[in-house]
Amino acid sequence: MSSEVFKDATRMSGGRASDEAIVTMEGVYKRFKDFEALKNINFQVGKQEVVVVIGPSGSGKSTLIRCINRLEEHDDGRIIVDGTELTTDVRNIQEIRKETGMVFQSFNLFPHLTVLANIALAPRQVRGMPKAEAEALARELLERVKIPEQADKFPAQLSGGQQQRVAIARSLAMKPKVMLFDEPTSALDPEMINEVLDAIKQLAQEGMTMVVVTHEMGFAKEVADRVVFMADGEIVEVGTPSEIFDNPKEERTQKFLAQIL
């Protein structure tokens, strides 16, 4: 983890992180039967960039990030993550999944394993890390998400916010180059949302590259380098938070923001 690297002010706003793109999507289409979930998506995420994807439900936000680590297979176009292209090559798929971490709306912790085992699982099984080392790493990560005392409990014994922080730690344990967040706070009770958002913010400050799908507009304003607005499977508008929130150009963006703000 390239830890204490804070974002510097020189970072390009409106972010075309040209030669340092970690995720590149080019002309990506995704269809479910006769429904087009993604239409001609062209999109890049630069190194250490935080991209927040917003939009009405059913607009294809989740599908977009689920295509990045091949939880959904795109039908057309190209997706390249950290120089590896997603093709039907099993090795590439595994490679990309190792380099991307994902946090789900419903946590998806493994209920039959302790918190510690949840976090240590992937490093041991995928990276072949010795058990002691993996558990040390797991404890360090729990420290970072501020719940070291929960290590030996089972997920069901934790609150939603705690579970989601464990899920973040679990993804970080693979030392990913990019983190994908799929509505990480939507399943949480209101009083727990902030603890999770704080953990994500902290990650952003440490320089993690992230794509975040969320309905938390305050969070988007505060943390995003770029905001992507999606509707009907298309990217409608991209810009800095101020561009999108204060000065939306497209009609659909204006309508959406008017409804939720």
Partner 1 sequence: MITWLRRNLFRTWWDSIMTVVFGYVGLWVIWTVIEFVFVTGRWEIIQVNLKLLLVGRFPDELMWLVGASLTALAFWVAAVAGGSKIDISNRQSLSQRLFDYIRRFGLIVALAALLIFLAADVAALLLALQILGGVVAGRLVGLARRNVGVLGAIPSIIWHPMLASPAVALVLVTLMESTLEEWGGFLINFYMAIISIVLCFPLGVLLALGRRSSFPIIRLVTTTYIELIRGAPLFVLLLLAGVALEFFIPPSIAPDAIFRGVTVFTLFTAAYLAEIVRGGLQSIPKGQTEAGKALGLNTTKITYLITMPQALRNVIPAQIGQFISLFKDTTLAGAALNILDVLNVGTAITKQQDFLGQGLIYEALAFVALLFWVGSYVMSRESQRLEKRLGVGVR
Partner 2 sequence: MSSLPSAPAKVPIWRDVRVLRWLFQIAVLAVVGLIIYWIWGNYQTNIERSSVQTDLRFLDNPASFTIPGNDFDQSSPVRAAFVQGFLNTIQVALVGIFFATILGTLVGIARLSKNLVVRSIAAAYVEVIRNLPLLLLLTFMNLAVVLQTFPRIEDAWKPLDLFVISNRGLAIPWFEGSAGQLGLLVLAGIVLAIIVVKLERARADRVGRPSRGLLLGTLALTIVPVIGWITLGYTWTLPFVDGRGTSGGLRLDPSFFALIVALVVYTSSHIAEIVRGSILAVPRGQGEAADALALSNSQKMRIIILPQAFRVAMPALGNQYLNLIKNSSLGATISYFELTQIAQITVGNGSPAVPAFTLTLLVYLAISLFTSLFVNYFNRRLALVER
Contacting residues toward partner 2, per CB under 8 A: 18-21, 24, 26, 44, 78, 80, 83, 85, 87-93
Q: At 106, list the tokens.
A: 């419903």
The DSSP secondary structure of 24-84, one letter per residue, reads EEEEEEEEETTEEEEEEEEEEEETT-EEEEE--TTSSHHHHHHHHTTSS--SEEEEEETTE
- 77 or 148, CB closer to partner 2? 77
Residue 64 tokens read as 């977009």
**DSSP letter for each residue of 67-79:** HHTTSS--SEEEE
Residue 174 in contact with partner 1, rule: CB under 8 A: yes
Size of the site for partner 1 (CB under 8 A): 30
Per-residue CA distances from 197 to 107, 112, 220, 226, 248 (Å): 14, 26, 10, 17, 25
Nearer to partner 1, 140 or 234 (CB): 140
Choices 15-23, 154-162, 213-221, 243-251 (CB under 8 A): range interacting with partner 1: 154-162
Burial of residue 179 (number of CB atoms within 10 Å: 0-12, 13-18, 19+): buried
Which residue of 87, 108, 242, 247 would you call a contact of partner 1, by CB under 8 A? 108
C-alpha span between 219 and 116 (Å, rounded): 29
Closest to 182 measured CA to CA, from 151, 214, 159, 147 = 214
Q: Which residues pair with 50 in a beta bridge?
A: 210
Residue number with CB closer to partner 2 (21 or 192): 21
Stretch that binds partner 1, among 42-50, 54-62, 106-114, 135-143 (CB under 8 A): 106-114
How far is it, in rounded angstroms, from Cα 235 to Cα 203? 26
At 140, list the tokens.
């360090």
Asked if 87 is part of the footprint of partner 1 (rule: CB under 8 A), the reply reads no
User: Mask of contacts with partner 1, 47-86, x by CB under 8 A?
Assistant: ----------------------xxx---------------
How far apart are alpha carbons 145 and 165 in whole angstroms?
6
For partner 2, the closer CB: 33 or 91? 91
With CB cut-offs between 5 and 8 Å by kind, which of partner 1, partner 2, none does residue 80 bind? partner 2
- 121 contacts partner 1 (rule: CB under 8 A): yes
Binding-site partner at residue 19 among partner 1, partner 2, none, CB < 5 to 8 Å by type:
partner 2
Q: Give the residues lining the site for partner 1 (CB under 8 A).
A: 69-71, 94, 97-98, 100-102, 104, 106-112, 121-122, 125-126, 131, 154, 156-157, 167, 170-171, 174, 180
